[in-house]
């Protein structure tokens, strides 16, 4: 049984992330999705709480008919010492065998700790990138809704996350 660990901030979870999850599930038996920077919320870079991110991802996976019994969600707050971050992650998470990431720091820290790291393909990073999506939301440009799973846009509207982001940005 091979278990993967996929860390991200998922602010918000978009179609690129969903493609990574599907790609990964062809290579592992179970997947741990780490909701990183779990202490963060209500800021321009991190508008959603860890709980909100968990819920939007769960709904998106359900909407894609992904078997949720194969998925673990583990929220993990950041720490000030990168050198011990892998041990910090291990202390919050079920055991894992392989890391899925394209983040250079994450890849380096796990490789130095002796873990296998696999890099998924990049799915149109120009548009499937959360910074771009947050910018569209702030600009009140509805095009952002096409870049996330339908369940994620519905959830963000439900919690008025788009209004939250615009008000944090000083636009309402
Ligand atoms: N379109 C994509 N294709 C493949 N991997 C992606 C894509 N977008 C993000 N990832 C990877 O998913 C992981 C989590 O990404 P993250 O939550 O930081 O998304 P992001 O879109 O890069 O967000 P932000 O712009 O807020 O930094 C990272 O390893 C990142 O490289
Ligand atoms: N020292 C630390 O706490 C540390 C180090 C490396 C990555 N991380 C976190 O891991 C996650 C990586 O996700 P991204 O690839 O989305 O940046 C982020 O939440 C990031 O803050 C934390």
Q: How many Å apart are CA 87 and CA 153, to the nearest integer? A: 34
Q: What is the pTM of this model?
A: 0.98
Q: Whose CA is nearest to atom 30 of ligand 1?
A: 102
Report helix, strand or coil for 14.
Answer: coil
Domains and CATH numbers, the chain: 3-168 (3.40.50.620)
Q: Whose CA is nearest to atom 5 of ligand 2?
A: 82
Q: What is the pLDDT of residues 104-160, one digit of tens each?
A: 999 999 999 999 999 999 999 999 999 999 999 999 999 999 999 999 999 999 999
Write phi, then psi, for 128 (nearest 5 degrees).
-90, 70
Q: What is the pLDDT of residues 56-65, one digit of tens each?
A: 999 999 999 9
Q: Whose CA is nearest to atom 1 of ligand 2?
A: 82
CB 111 within 8 A of CB 71: no
Q: What is the pLDDT of residues 57-96, one digit of tens each?
A: 999 999 999 999 999 999 999 999 999 999 999 999 999 9
How far does the centroid of ligand 2 lie from the alpha carbon of residue 172, in Å?
30
How far does the centroid of ligand 2 lie from the alpha carbon of residue 85, in Å?
9
Which ligand ends up closest to the CA of 125?
1
């Amino acid at each position: 049984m091979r278990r993967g660990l996929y860390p991200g901030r998922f602010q918000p979870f978009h179609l690129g992330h969903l493609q990574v999850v599907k790609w990964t599930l062809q290579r592992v038996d179970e997947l741990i999705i780490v909701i990183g920077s779990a202490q963060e919320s209500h800021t321009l870079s991190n508008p959603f709480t860890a709980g909100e991110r968990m819920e939007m991802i769960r709904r998106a996976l359900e909407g894609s008919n992904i078997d949720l019994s194969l998925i673990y969600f583990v929220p993990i707050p950041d720490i000030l010492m990168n050198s011990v971050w892998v041990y910090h992650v291990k202390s919050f998470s079920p055991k894992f065998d392989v890391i899925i990431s394209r983040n250079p720091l994450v890849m380096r820290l796990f490789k130095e700790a002796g873990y296998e790291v696999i890099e998924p393909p990049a799915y149109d990073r120009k548009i499937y990138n959360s910074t771009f999506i947050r910018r569209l939301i702030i600009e009140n440009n509805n095009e952002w809704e096409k870049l996330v799973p339908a369940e994620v846009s519905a959830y963000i509207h439900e919690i008025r996350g788009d209004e939250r982001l615009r008000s944090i940005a000083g636009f309402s």
